[in-house]
Chain A
């Protein structure tokens, strides 16, 4: 009787608490738990990713779930229980899937797309587009524009200029720029953040109110 119960317990198919999950997914890993989690990830990933995947959704989602499971098992000791384990695991799986899709989406993008920047240290040969310049653009307004351009050219590093150029001027999506600049999303965000802070601080130092400035543009 006791043996029967033990065997039943080993054949568990549902894991209700985080404690049960963590125990099952920590070494020695309970294969049954991995399978239950795999099914759950697939069940969530399919509807979440279907709009991004034009064919072989099933195969794609299974691959993503597999890669995510390995990450979950590798990092199970970092799970601090602030949410259900399945929520945490799904977060890892969704990022895995979208990261993969983004890499594919920008497969064709090449460094050529950023070439114009490499020609000069001044990343944008900064000038206001002539067709946008109305004859009655006030002196004050063009001074403000010049000021911002000067800040960008003098205060930002080449890398920051390149990132701002790609993201804001060429309007490339972030994942494309990540790929082009051989960086990662977090580093790119921080790079641009530092640039934004520099521009903000410099404007303040110059006594320029961005709010007023925007109204004048």
Chain B
């Protein structure tokens, strides 16, 4: 197995982006319902909850769930 410069770059970038306060998937999930409502209300969830935004930027699985959640909520919003 070989490490190409491209992979190395990816690796260094992801290390460089690591921060002390980074949260994990569970902590992100704990706040996701609030985060989603802020977004649907047109407020800025990223400002209110920067660590959640940071996790969503870095974690594809949580991002996928968040997108699906927004989609689901938009479809029940009208009669909610």
Contacts and interface: CB of A to CB of B under 8 A. Distances in A.
Nearest to A119: B1
A84 B41 CA distance: 12
Interface residues of A, number: 57
B60 A173 contact: yes
B46 interface: no
A136 B4 CA distance: 16
A202 B68 CA distance: 38
Interface residues of B, number: 41
Contact of A127 (B2, B73, B80): B2
B72 to A, nearest CB: 3
Contact of A84 (B9, B17, B37, B61): B37
Interface string A167-200: 0110001110000000001100110010011011
Contact of A98 (B10, B59, B64, B76): B64
> Main SS of the interface on chain B?
helix
A48 B68 contact: yes
B20 to A, nearest CB: 8
A148 interface: yes
A90 B72 contact: yes
Interface of B: 1-18, 22, 24-26, 29, 32-34, 36-37, 59-61, 64-65, 68-69, 71-73, 75-76, 80
Given A90-B76, A98-B65, A193-B18, 8 more contacts: A44-B76, A87-B37, A88-B33, A124-B3, A130-B2, A168-B10, A217-B5, A217-B8
Interface of A: 40, 43-49, 82-84, 86-88, 90-91, 93-95, 97-98, 102, 116, 124-130, 132, 145, 148-149, 152, 164-165, 168-169, 173-175, 185-186, 189-190, 193, 196-197, 199-200, 203, 210-211, 213-214, 217
